[in-house]
Structure formats: C-alpha cells, structure tokens
Amino acid sequence: MTDPSVQAAAAILQRHGIRYTVVGGQAIARNAATTTQDVDVMVTTDDYHDAVERLSLDKGLTLALEGGAVTRFGIQSLGGVPLDVVDAGVFAGKKTGAEFFDFLLDEESSESDGILYASPEAVWYTRLLTKRWRAYAEKIVTNVIDGLAADHLDRVEAIGKRFGTDAILKERIAYVRDELKRPDLDALIRRA
Amino acid sequence: MSILSSDYRTLPVKDPDALREPGVVELVTFLLRFDPLAARVVAKRNRATLDPHELYRRVRNEGLERQATKVRLQQFARAIPLVGTPLPSEELRWIERNNPAAGVSR
C-alpha cells in the first residue's frame, strides 16, 4: 500500500510532468520499518531548477527551505509534511547528474502503484555521501537490524566505483561495517 | 529455548525488572539497542519527565554506555560513562529538527 504522503507527492509531481524517483526513508520503508513521514524525491540535474520553479507555483505546496541541491516544500493537504526535491548531480561524482539520474531510474529503481522507488543500496549510497553521513550510518545499522541485508554495502561500493566516489565512501563504508560488528547485533536482527 | 513465538521483534533485556512497569526511561534504553537516534529524540522530547538517575541505572544495567555516548545521552544523565565516540552535535541537532513530533491520530 502506498504511503499517503508519497501518494500526495506523486500526484503533484505528475501534475507538473516532473521525472523523479523516491529516495530516502520512504524508499527504505518498502523493505524495512521506518517512522519516516516526509518524502524525498530525486530529479535530474538538467530539470532541477525548472522543477523547483514549477513546484513553487503549485497551490498545494508551500516553499519551506531553498538552498543548493535540496529544496523543501510542505504538502499543504497533509499539514505541511515535507517534500524534499534533491538534485541528482550531488551524487554523480565524476559523471553528470543526468547520468546518475538515468542510472538510478534504469538500474536502481523499481515501480509500485505507478511510483518509482530507489533501491535500498542506492539510498544508502546517497546517504553515505552526505556531510551528515555518521548519523545516516546509524540509520543503516537500524535498517540492517530491521532485516535489510548488510551485504547491500557491497553494491554501495560498486556504485561508488562506477561514479568515482569510492575514495570518499571507503572510510564511511568501513565505519558502517565496524558498527555492524557489535556483539549484540546478531540477536537483534529480524530474520525473514 | 524460546518460550514464545512472535512475528514481532523480540528484544533481549538483561534486567527483567525493567519490564515490570516500563516508562519513558525504559523506552529510551530499549531504543538504544536498535535505533539510538530515535532514543535521543524521545529523551529530548520527554526531558521534563526523564529521571536522570533512573536513566543512568538502566543504561548501566543493560550495558549500553557506548550506544548512549554515541547519541550524547550524558546531556540527560551526566553520570553515564563516556564510552566510544559521540556523533557530531550538529548531526544530532539536524536529526532532531528533521523528526518533528507526528502527533496522535484519533
């Protein structure tokens, strides 16, 4: 069942003809428990500013925060639930934002109820590339406890190699792997 | 041998006394095991009713000093020993800002 926040965001994005894939907690929520309410969507770099401009004029949204590669709107019908629009270029490393976006859509997204969601591996990749990667590393450990396989980290590494971000990711992935060595973790991990 | 079978997550608890009348302190302590960021958000949101002595006792009893340090629970119970490296304060503030209380639907 599609989350009402995602459904509302998708309706607005489709109204404006904006190509996107859901990332962040709502994409993870398809595979592991999260308490996420807000919706993060990634759009291609070429379309980012145009998409933000179109969404700024939508009467169903309130512009909450503008800055750099992420613009936050509030979905009015849901009491201001955040809709974060993210520029794919931030995660493209040595390639273009359009290349990363195409990769995300073609190889790392799947559709449910007409909505595209990024894979957990792609979400972990984007999270570990942000400046707040340590907090996201904690979330990754929580995702693993909730049943996401830790070996998804191998795929994160592979994505890093493909986009030339592997040097940045190396230390961060090692940090997550170290955290996953916690002795009590095995007893906590939810088995399918 | 397990005495119960459940699809829900089962959390190992070292001190069964903690389960008698669990309150906010126990919730924060149990959350430390699998979602320390949520533990901090709950602690901060319930700071007014959080008993620091009880939080210290529960964290020590469960051996969760490292997890508590990671999310700087010493801000709520100063006696909790520092074990390991805390997450940067800015990242914790950001997590708090991005997890607004959702409210309760009636």
pLDDT along chain A (192 residues), means of 10: 91 95 94 82 90 94 87 93 94 96 96 95 97 94 91 97 98 96 80 54
Cα A41 to Cα A24, A86, A167, A189, distances in angstroms:
8, 6, 26, 29
The residue in chain A having the minimum alpha-carbon distance to the alpha carbon of residue B95 is A135
For the segment B81-106, the average pLDDT, to the nearest whole number, is: 80
Range of the domain at A121: 4-188
Residue A13 has a pLDDT of 96
| Helix or strand holding residue A30 (H, E) | none
The residue in chain A having the minimum alpha-carbon distance to the alpha carbon of residue B71 is A135
Task: Please provide residue B63's backbone torsions phi and psi, each rounded to the nearest 5 degrees.
Answer: 65, 40
Q: Give residues 88 to 147 of A whose Cβ lies within 8 Å of B.
A: 132, 134-135, 138-139, 142, 145-146
Residue B106 has a pLDDT of 37
Above 90 in pLDDT, residue B38?
yes
* CA pseudo-torsion sign B70, A70, A106, A111: positive
Cα B69 to Cα A129, B2, B82, distances in angstroms:
24, 32, 6
The pTM for the full model equals: 0.89
Of A139, A184, A190, the CB nearest to B37: A139
Residue B1 has a pLDDT of 45
DSSP-based three-state secondary structure for A21 = strand
DSSP-based three-state secondary structure for A16 = coil
Question: To the nearest whole angstrom, how far is the Cα of B89 from the nearest Cα of chain A?
Answer: 10
Residue A135 has a pLDDT of 94
Residue B105 has a pLDDT of 41
DSSP conformational letter for A47:
H
Q: Which two tokens stand for residue A164?
A: 């030339």
Chain B residues at the A interface, defined by Cβ less than 8 Å, are: 9, 11-12, 33-38, 70, 87-88, 90-92, 94-95, 98-99, 102
Above 50 in pLDDT, residue B40?
yes
Residue from A39, A52, A42, A49 nearest A19 by CA:
A42
Range of the domain at B67: 22-97
Residue A38 has a pLDDT of 86
Residue B8 has a pLDDT of 66
Confidence check on the interface: ipTM exceeds 0.95, yes or no: no
CB–CB of B34 and A188 under 8 A? yes
Would residue B89 count as lying in a domain?
A: yes
CATH number of the structural domain spanning residue A43: 3.30.460.10
- DSSP E strand boundaries for chain A: 21-23, 39-43, 61-67, 70-75, 81-87, 109-112, 115-118
DSSP-based three-state secondary structure for A165 = coil
DSSP conformational letter for B5:
-
Q: Domain tally for chain B? A: 1
Residue from A121, A144, A188, A108 nearest A34 by CA:
A144
Residue B9 has a pLDDT of 66
Q: Which two tokens stand for residue A5?
A: 């926040």
CB–CB of B92 and A188 under 8 A? no
Q: Domain tally for chain A? A: 1
Would residue B102 count as lying in a domain?
A: no
pLDDT band (50, 70, 90) for residue B104? very low
Task: Please provide residue A81's backbone torsions phi and psi, each rounded to the nearest 5 degrees.
Answer: -50, 130
Question: To the nearest whole angstrom, how far is the Cα of A142 from the nearest Cα of chain B?
Answer: 6
Task: Please provide residue A112's backbone torsions phi and psi, each rounded to the nearest 5 degrees.
Answer: -145, 125
Higher pLDDT, B52 or A188: B52
